[in-house]
Amino acid sequence: MLKVIRPFAALVALTISFGSVALDEDKEMTKAEKRLANILEKYEYTGKEKSCIPLRGLRSQTVIDEKTIFFEAPGGRGYMNKMDNRCPRLVFEERFSFKTSLNQLCSLDIITVLDSFGREWGSCGLGKFEEMKRIPKDKDK
């Protein structure tokens, strides 16, 4: 099965704390920080890692940076994939394809970066998937 993934992310600028590093309002956020902040506004890490995630129902993907992709799944779940090595042009193109004979995407599966004309710009191996869960909307209230 060949799947082509296109970007669906909306960028939202906000100030958020990343672990022990807090961003100052005066400091301009990078695109990667904005993309991650947008996801962390809606999802939190569960501490669980998976080697594979089901393809069925994957709603969207967001390329965070050259090593990180967030996959949104049904049921209020998401998966952050952090590759061991950087994937050149992934951030610039924000689209990739992969081939699998299974109905799931696994760590060490290979993605191929594509440009808007469908030309291939290199391949990269995925890492483990960190499970995330959607933060309930009424949690802050």
If 0-12 CB within 10 Å is exposed, 13-18 middle and 19+ buried, where does residue 8 land?
Answer: exposed
pTM summary value: 0.76
pLDDT tens string 98-122: 988 889 999 989 999 999 999 999 9
Q: Give the torsion sign (CA, 99, 103, 105, 107).
A: negative
Residue 95 to residue 66: CA distance in whole angstroms: 12
For residue 10, pLDDT over 70 is answered with no
* DSSP H or E run through 61: strand 60-65
Q: Cα dist. 71→24, 77, 85, 115, 123 in Å?
A: 28, 9, 18, 20, 18
Q: Give the torsion sign (CA, 37, 43, 48, 51).
A: negative
Q: Please, are residues 71 and 58 in contact by the beta-carbon 8 Å criterion? A: yes
- 14 band by pLDDT with thresholds 50, 70 and 90: very low
